[in-house]
Amino acid sequence: MRPEVMEHIVEQLREVDGLLKERLEKRFASIGINRVGLSLQALLLGTFIVLLFEELRRKFPVINVRKVSWKFMRRVGDVASSRKKNYNNARALRDVLQALNETSMLDEGELWRLSATISIVSKSIMSMNDGNAESFARSLLKNLVESSEVKLRGDQLNRFKIFVNLERELSAEESVELIRSGIEALPLGSREMANRYLYYIVRVFGIWPNLRRHLEPPITRRMIRPLSEIGLPISIKSYKADIVKLGRSMFPEDPATISALDLIASVWCRKERKRCKECPLYFACPRLG
């Protein structure tokens, strides 16, 4: 591919990335989550609750993410108004589970994993010593180590203990990796969930901007489609690692910009009823050139 074509692709992806950010901001605002109206703790916890319910919805389609999330934020959100409320972990957890039970049918095992996950994250956010990423990383690992609801592997437990008690400051890269490892260790956690959570917090809400260059993009399988169309084929077997590598190559200061491909795949470069002539990457598609 010619260098000038690649440069144009990078420019277009940056523009689409801006559009994606606007869409996500509006979506979160529709359920009461925005940087202006919430405390940092409310924003961190509310965003995690939305993400957690989105993950559950893949398994249980009956879950109404917007209804449950809005009810949670309305009832226990620390809204910046004259009627400001203080968080209470037990009440927050009770309200979330009650809201979830009204819209779905989860078995006891799923409810236990959900309860444990929310409880650990809630405690971690409320016990942060500072508002930075390092404080959240240390607090999350500390609560995982002390929790009786999570069984950590021996090597994992020792690693978490080392970083909890480490006297020096953590680098931005270490903070990202530890938050990622902590969320992955939760009963309902995964690496994909951790990447998406960090993406929302850092890139949508602008919290902890120093972490940008260390993020991994949230990846969906459909991102393969536009890449293949413009002559950057990705292996089906290793597409996640390949897209992460591509993001770091194209956007070294902000690798998660490559996530704009997901919007392109869902709006223009669709599996059926493609909108090729309107696609931001139309100029780079050899099939249409």
Domain count, the chain: 1
More reliable by pLDDT, 157 or 76: 157
Q: Is residue 94 part of a domain?
A: no
Residues 6+ apart with CB under 8 A from 175: 132, 133, 134, 136, 137, 208, 211
Pick the range with the lowest mean pLDDT from 23-27, 134-138, 176-180. 23-27
Domain range enclosing 250: 1-30+216-289
The pTM score is: 0.87
Please give the Cα distance from 132 to 191 (Å, whole number): 21
Query: Is residue 285, in this structure, part of any structural domain at all?
Result: yes
Pure H helices in the chain: 3-29, 40-59, 65-76, 89-101, 108-126, 133-146, 154-165, 172-184, 191-199, 224-229, 239-250, 260-267
Find the CATH number of the domain harbouring 223. 1.10.1670
Question: Within a domain: residue 279?
Answer: yes
- pLDDT-above-90 percentage for the chain: 55
246 is a domain residue: yes
Q: If you average pLDDT over every residue of the chain, what do you get?
A: 85
Is 282 contained in some domain?
Answer: yes
Q: Is residue 22 part of a domain?
A: yes
Whether 21 maps to a domain, the answer reads yes
- Residue 269 maps to a domain: yes
Placement of tokens 């493609």 in the chain: 274
